[in-house]
Amino acid sequence: MKYLVTGAAGFIGTNFVYHMLEKHPSDLIVGIDNLSYAGNIKNLKKAQENSNFVFRQADITDQDAMTALFKEFGFDYVINFAAQTHVDRSIVDPGIFVKTNVLGTQILLDLARETGVKRFHQIGTDEVYGDLPLEATDQFFVETLPLKASSPYSASKAAADLLALSYNRTFGLPVTVSRCSNNYGPYQFPEKLIPLMLINALNDKNLPVYGDGMNVRDWLYVEDHCEAVDTILHNGRDGEVYNVGGHNEMHNIDIIKIILKELGKPESLITFVTDRKGHDLRYAIDPTKIHNELGWLPQTKFADGIKSTIRWYLDNKDWWEEIVSGEYREYYRKMYENR
C-alpha cells in the first residue's frame, strides 16, 4: 500500500509518520511538507533512514507539483494533515489559511478523484463546532451538530471538511473526516499553549495567560490521535465524520499550574494578558461514535502523557532552542509585547 501524508514535518504529521512506519512496516509512506515555519525536516531524520519512507518538499497548493506527485506514486491512501494551524496567526492574517486549508484541500481531492484512491482522510478539528458554554458541562460536541466556526482558522477547516464530504456525495470519492480535540506531545511547535508555557517556564519568562485562564480545552495525547486516524482510515465508513477525544477537559490555568509544579517553577511567573479575539470558551468531544463503531479508546492518561511530554522537551532542548532563537522571536514579540 502507498500512503501520502501531507504536513508530514509538522507536529501531528511527524508523529503519524512514525506511527505508520511502526504499524505498517511493509507499506510505503510518502511524506510531503512545504517546510513552512511550522514544518521541521529534522523531525523526520530517523524516518528518512527507513527505506519505506520518502520525503518530498512540496506545497499542497501547487497544482503542478501535486499532479506530478500523484502520477509518480499512484497513492492508495491520502491523509491530509497539511494546514495553517494557529488560531492567533489566523486572526492576524486569514488569507494564507483560506489558501492552504481550502484551496490546498480541493487540489488534493481532485487528484485523489482522478487517480482513484481507496480512501481520502481529511484531518479536521473540533473547533469547527464553535464553542460550548463553560457552565453547561452536560453538553458535548457530537458529529451531527451544525458547524459554527469562530476564527478564520476554524472557518477554513470547516470549509475543507465540507469540501471533502461533498466529494463523497457528488463524486463518490471514498472520504472520511476526523475532528479531534487539542493534541499534546513531542514535536509540538512552541507557539501552542503547552510547549509555550513549558519553554517560557524553563527560561524563567512570564507565562502569558489569555483572559482569566478559565477557558476549557479537551486534551488528547498525540499518539492516541494517530491511532484513531489509522483506525478510521482502514475501518471507517465512507462519507462519515468521526469525533476524536478522550473526555479530558481542563481549564488552561490548571494545565499551566501542572507544568510549573512538574518543573519546580513558581506560580508568580503566571501573567494574565489581553484575551484572544473571539476566544472559544469550552471544547468537549463526545467520542461515542468512534468508540462504538470502531472500538477506539485513548490509551494515555493525561497524568502520564504530560510527564512524558515534559520529559521530551527537557531531553530535546536543541530542537526547541533552535526554533525559539530564530524568526519565532519576532513572532513572539509582535504577538505578546505590550499585550
Could you say whether residue 36 binds ligand NAD (CB under 6 A)?
yes
Beta-bridge partners for 132: 282
Catalytic option among 18, 129, 153, 313: 153
Distance in Å, CB of 10 to ligand NAD, minimum: 2
Residues, the chain, total?
Answer: 339
**What's the CA gap between 23 and 141, in Å, rounded?**
30
**Least CB distance to ligand NAD at residue 264 (A):** 27
State the pairing for strand pair 53-57/270-273.
unpaired
Q: How far apart are CA 139 and CA 150, in angstroms?
A: 18
Total number of residues binding ligand DAU (CB under 6 A)?
A: 19
Stretch that binds ligand NAD, among 175-183, 199-207, 231-239, 316-324 (CB under 6 A): 175-183
How far is it, in rounded angstroms, from Cα 199 to Cα 158?
A: 31
Site for ligand NAD in 52-81 (CB under 6 A): 59-61, 81
Alpha carbon separation from 42 to 17, 55, 59, 94, 322 (Å, rounded): 13, 12, 18, 28, 11
Active site residue 127: yes
User: Three cell numbers at 252?
Assistant: 488552561
Q: Are 84 and 96 in contact (CB under 8 A)?
A: yes
**Does residue 248 interact with ligand NAD by CB under 6 A?**
no
152 is a contact residue toward ligand NAD (CB under 6 A) = no
Q: Which residues contact 333 (CB under 8 A, 6 or more apart)?
A: none
Closest among 132, 108, 133 to 121, alpha carbons compared: 108
The distance of closest approach from Cβ of residue 283 to ligand DAU in the complex, given in angstroms and rounded to an integer, is 5
Catalytic annotation, pick one of 33, 59, 127, 227: 127
Identify the three-state secondary structure at position 329. Answer: helix
Residue 276 or 291 having the CB closest to ligand DAU: 276
Closer CB to ligand NAD, residue 110 or residue 269?
A: 110
Q: Which of ligand DAU, ligand NAD, none does 105 bind, CB closer than 5 to 8 A by kind?
A: none
Residue nearest to ligand DAU (CB): 125
Q: Which of residues 213-242 bind ligand DAU (CB under 6 A)?
A: 215, 217
x/- binding map, residues 146-185, to ligand DAU, per CB under 6 A?
A: -----------------------------------xx---
Give whichever of 42 and 333 is closer to ligand NAD, judged by the CB atom. Answer: 42
Residue 184: which residues within 8 A CB-CB, separation 6 or more?
Answer: 194, 219, 220, 221, 222, 305, 306, 309
- Taken in order 167, 168, 170, 172, the sign of the CA dihedral is positive
Residue 83 binds ligand NAD, judged by CB under 6 A: yes
Q: How far apart are CA 254 and CA 303, in angstroms?
A: 12
Nearest residue relative to ligand NAD (C-beta): 10
CB of 138 to ligand DAU, least distance (A): 20
Active site residue 126: yes
Burial class (CB in 10 A: 0-12, 13-18, 19+), 339: exposed
Catalytic residue among 33, 59, 126, 280: 126
Residues labelled as active-site residues: 126-127, 153
By CB under 6 A, name the binding residues for ligand NAD: 6-7, 9-13, 33-36, 38-39, 59-61, 81-85, 100, 104, 123, 125, 157, 180, 182-183, 189
By CB under 6 A, name the binding residues for ligand DAU: 85-87, 125-127, 181-182, 192-193, 196, 208-210, 215, 217, 252, 276, 283
